């Protein structure tokens, strides 16, 4: 899981500059705080909610549209039958690895119509995220800009220049009244993404005490795509890095498998 997170997922989220700032693993440090900051858990990681697609694509073993069609996200919540029947998890994973990134930061499905079937009122996921930040007492967006060494914004017009598409400063001012009332989550989501990006070491797998050199080599040669191949019922083609779309998907049998011989008792 650490390899998938640091070698596949984080590079797409943080971009090249962010990964350079993170640096390479240099060994365990007992003085490093391995805890998760409340700002990360409560606000920053909620950016994933902006990646929720409106529709879950389903593809057959030939990566063609599934005969029963796709599944609207609102119908997929609390619906385990979608994972068991009608193509199951295989069709959903094939659809996920070939789906493009959401074009909008937020859409109606995450702010108005995201509702489990047994609920009457729709679930506004983003409003819940904003309220969570307030409940945890997070300071406003501007306070975190200062903390991170960025320029403090003085007006809504100035804030608009920082956003990807330029917000309507008049409407934004009406919603927040004061520039210092902008929540961390809201401000963070509207910022222009870093180039190439989307926005605890104690048990780290590269430690020599965890794996031998041969075991570590085996782990690093085992791609995310091969993991999916080994867990799907019908696996023909699969992207080696499912987070990056490519028109060239190798066949599963050509990808290197996990060499379990490295764990064989000598």
State the binding site for heme b: 49
Going by C-beta distance under 8 Å and a sequence separation of 6 or more, which residues neighbour residue 193?
15, 164, 199
d(CA 160, CA 154): 11
From 68, 151, 74, select the one nearest 117 (Cα to Cα). 74
Q: Which residues are annotated as a binding site?
A: 49
Distances (CA, A) of 8 to 29, 194, 237, 251: 24, 17, 19, 19
* Cβ neighbours around 248 below 10 Å, total: 7
Supply 266's token pair: 């000598």
Cβ–Cβ under 8 Å, residues 191 and 163: yes
């Amino acid at each position: 899981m650490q390899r998938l997170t640091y070698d596949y997922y984080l590079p797409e989220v943080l971009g090249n500059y962010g990964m350079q700032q993170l640096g390479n693993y240099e060994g365990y440090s007992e003085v490093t705080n391995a805890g998760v900051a409340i700002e990360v858990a409560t606000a920053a990681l909620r950016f994933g909610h902006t990646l929720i697609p409106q529709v879950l694509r389903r593809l057959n073993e030939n990566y063609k549209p599934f005969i029963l069609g796709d599944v609207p996200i609102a119908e997929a919540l609390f619906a385990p039958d979608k994972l068991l029947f009608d193509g199951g998890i295989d069709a959903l994973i094939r659809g996920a690895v070939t789906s493009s990134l959401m074009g909008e930061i937020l859409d109606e499905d995450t702010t108005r119509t995201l509702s489990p079937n047994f609920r009457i009122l729709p679930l506004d996921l983003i409003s819940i995220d904003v309220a969570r930040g307030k409940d945890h007492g997070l300071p406003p967006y501007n306070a975190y800009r200062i903390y991170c060494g960025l320029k403090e914004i003085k007006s809504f017009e100035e804030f608009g220049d920082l956003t990807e598409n330029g917000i309507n400063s008049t409407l934004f001012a009406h919603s927040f009244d004061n520039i210092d009332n902008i929540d961390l989550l809201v401000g963070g989501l509207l910022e222009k993404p870093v180039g190439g990006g989307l926005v605890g070491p104690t048990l780290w797998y590269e430690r020599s005490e965890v794996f031998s050199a041969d075991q570590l080599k085996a782990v690093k040669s085992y791609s995310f795509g091969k993991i999916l191949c080994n867990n799907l019922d019908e696996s023909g083609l699969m992207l080696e890095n499912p987070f990056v779309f490519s028109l060239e998907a190798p066949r599963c049998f050509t990808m290197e498998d996990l060499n379990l011989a490295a764990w064989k008792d000598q």
